[in-house]
Structure 1
Amino acid sequence: MDFFSLLWIFLIISSLQPVIRQKILESNRFRLLARLEQKRKSRVIAMIHRQETLSLLGFPLVRYIDIHDSEEILRAIKMTDNDVPIDLILHTPGGLVLAAEQIARALKKHPAKVTVFVPHYAMSGGTLIALAADEVVMDENAVLGPVDPQLGQQPAASIVKVLEQKPLSEVEDETIILADVARKALAQVKETVMELLQDRMSPEQAEQLAVTLSSGVWTHDYPITVDEARKLGLPISTDMPQDIYQLMALYPQSAQRRPSVEYIPVPRSRPAESNRRR
């Protein structure tokens, strides 16, 4: 076998390696999801948005909640009997309001218990989905986020404030039109939040929480901690199953550079001898 034959074999193996690695990851995820379903006697759905290197050239793909996600989750819910609980593992920076609202409404209509697990964060549309759950289980350091709508790169609430702070004669027509759309978006999201909360809170409490989350009280990336979410009246637990952390490890970030965080991945505790007095 000559040098060029060896080179071709090396190139073929190198090109297949990412595909094989991805297939192994998918198989491990499937087994872990099946184990979770067995333990909890539920339908387990994972919506985890991470950067993953899927192509041959290794470009990372950034993912958000989109229509494909809502279609898949709606199909999973349809395939679940009414007396079977649903567990949704949620890790997302947000995404399309339409897709998030579809998922949230479908979860709310499911007759059996719906639990949303947030191991790290569920921002924006992810929080909207969490509001549909009977229980939200968060890691002690996980966060949710406001659900105020964004028009392009601008918060809808901030666009509306432009008309409140400047004379109308000094505002461009395009901004006036944008502010009109922004008002509608704010009203629509507020109504959706109130609809999701109406069975769990009084109308006054639901409206107050809807205004807090959707009206631009905070910046869009404001982290709502476990304690703050409880103060807002959300049903938050921190009893996170260990299997969910293991599942998150099977969704690796893009490995195109040296990792900035490194540690030995084993449990660590102080030796018993160190606690003794000499």
Structure 2
Amino acid sequence: MPARGKHRHTKSNIITRGMIAAGTGGIALALPLVSATGAHAATPAQAPQVTKAAKTAVVPNVQLITYKVVAGDTLSKVAQKHPESGGWKKLYQANRAVIGDNPALISPGLKLTVGTKTLKPTAAGTTAKATPAVAKKAATTAVQASAKTYTNDLDGWIKHSLDIMAQHGIPGSYDGIHRNVMRESSGNPLAINNWDSNAVAGTPSKGLLQVIDPTFRAFHVPGTSMDPYDPVANITAACNYAAKTYGSIDNVNGAY
């Protein structure tokens, strides 16, 4: 993405770096187009009818256990302090929404979900306790529900970006993002343009949607990586820029 008012094509002469931050892939993917799915297109599922039996059933009351990150903490250290988290990988998956795409970066003050505890059942007039098996199943379900996972490929990066965009009111669809990604970088998150006017000025276009550093910083979306080569951060910042400039990434059909 060049500075506003400048146009260029980026498909030729793409050069890649050899390193990429955690959470990114290093292969170019050419995925088939799918039907457009806008960031605001999700429709809440209709709430199921609650039967009388369900209302009176004895169910365990599960409460999340949280941990506040302190200086010097890593996910491994937190997982050791809280074995119920299931190890640092499960801890990361359960808290990816707040940690971001780099599991090595957790800031002091960040609140992580490390497990659950079962309290007294909520049905009135009973003192029955949930069995260990029921409590374990409820805890596992609660932790898994606290985070959504994405595949580490172009499909997953776009879907992750769309979810973040929806949280910030940034318009855009899967088809619009995919179409522009394939034109700008052929799906290579490490693509860089070293030949156009931006490159000559010292700000080459980078990543899936070819964003220059000043634009990336100006339109960076909180909660994503500050690395312009990070696929999710690159897509989300580019879509934020496109929304401010063209109304939506869906309206971009050429160099922008």
Q: Is the TM-score greater than 0.5?
A: no
* Higher RCO (CA 8 Å, separation ≥ 6 residues): 2
TM-score by length of structure 2 reads 0.22
What TM-score do you get using the length of structure 1 for normalisation? 0.21
